[in-house]
Structure 1
């Protein structure tokens, strides 16, 4: 999945003007987005392969800059994703540094898959192309972002509850999310329960909305300020 999403992102870049502005990443061009994703893969691979327990300065990433030639640059991008998988295979379940503290090295594969999908959405939106994603992958992207945000203490104010519901067929419980900030702190679950605000739409649209790429494909019911608070407090 990581290789596939990386390759799809690279093909958008291959066919576009690198100076194209990326509206969902203000101040960025496609060239900067490409470098961010490509170096991010190698940054992650280095953390894993060197079994780091502290964050790595992105400036210290080996081969962190792409070649000037476009085809070679795309190869550099794809090779970086493969380096992650190779590094995980090599270190196994050993724990390394992550945004959430020490986690098994394989934690990074899922994180980078969703990093790739959202930035592919950035690229597609920048060039006016249609962005598509398998429903199950989009739903897992919603779960992963909620998990990451709540674990870092981001999202809702005390007492707030947010419910998201994917309208796609076949997702079952994995298409429901409840985020709660109660006396025990922030937590989330796959639950069908009432929130102060409810956000409904296809899983793909929920993913784009929750990562602040575009919010016009979802319906917001109830206290819209709760949804606004979530978006304000959880920048991708």
Structure 2
């Protein structure tokens, strides 16, 4: 349910990068990105490309753990007035190099680890899905239609639950503390894919179960729309919501990634 193979994740890094670059044809990279309001499209692309190179360096260098000091993707303010003809090939080169590095190692090798998870498997999935979300950011800014297949969207939603959700609890403990309480459970139910997730927020560390359960609040809709909702790229209006709407709103406010 909602989980793709390591090989598919490696392939999607380059596939999603190509789709992103294709959308840039003739684009003004100086426009603001509404879903990432601190960045222009130019800066969003630099963020993606630097993230590829950061993961690539850690995998090729066989770093035992994630080295956040080498991540250049978070401060991209210096990058302005660049052209798609330059950034497009740079994005695709970074994606291809990262995919090749990941394909050359054992998926479960304990390098570039984060929270005890094997780095190759974690970063293959993370970088594929990072590109999916930022491709949406780019095409939304450009007014271009976004398309994604259901399996990839289900994998994205599942990765958000298993990675982004606990990371938010670790990174922003004060903001996420409000989510913890008796019977605080959230059910995400895709109506067009085999993907149902229950987010158990009854303990200080969230737990995730796959399958159908009664929860304090349930959200139903197409899997791609659920994916965009949890990443705060679209409002929940238009999706079916049953139960504790306040808990759902608190979740979407507190968990950002």
TM-score in same-fold range (> 0.5)? yes
Runs of 4 or more consecutive aligned structure 1 residues displaced over 6 Å after TM superposition: none
Change (3 A) 1:120 1:59: closer
Residues 32-57 of structure 1 deviation map (CA, whole Å, 9 limit, x = unaligned): 10100011111111111111124142
TM alignment of 1:41-56, pairs within 5 A? 41-52=52-63, 53-55=65-67, 56=69
Aligned residues: 228
Any stretches of 5+ residues in structure 2 without a counterpart? 1-11, 74-78, 170-175
Change (3 A) 1:82 1:162: same
TM alignment of 1:76-225, pairs within 5 A? 76-92=90-106, 93-152=108-167, 154=169, 156-159=179-182, 160-168=184-192, 171-172=193-194, 175-183=195-203, 185-215=205-235, 216-225=237-246
Residue 252 (structure 2) pairs with residue 231 (structure 1):
yes
Whole-angstrom CA distance in 2 between matches of 1:12 and 1:75: 13
Following superposition, the deviation at residue 75 of structure 1 comes to: 1.4
Residues 102-152 of structure 1 deviation map (CA, whole Å, 9 limit, x = unaligned): 424132111111100000111111111211100111111000001013433
Any stretches of 5+ residues in structure 1 without a counterpart? none
Whole-angstrom CA distance in 2 between matches of 1:31 and 1:5: 17
Whole-angstrom CA distance in 2 between matches of 1:66 and 1:8: 22
Whole-angstrom CA distance in 1 between matches of 2:22 and 2:220: 31
Whole-angstrom CA distance in 1 between matches of 2:80 and 2:35: 23
What root-mean-square deviation, in Å, do the aligned CA atoms of Structure 1 and Structure 2 show? Answer: 2.3
Whole-angstrom CA distance in 2 between matches of 1:100 and 1:67: 38
Q: Which moved more, 1:146-155 or 1:216-225?
A: 146-155
Q: Which has the higher contact order (CA 8 A, sep 6+)?
A: 2
| Structure 1 length-normalised TM | 0.88
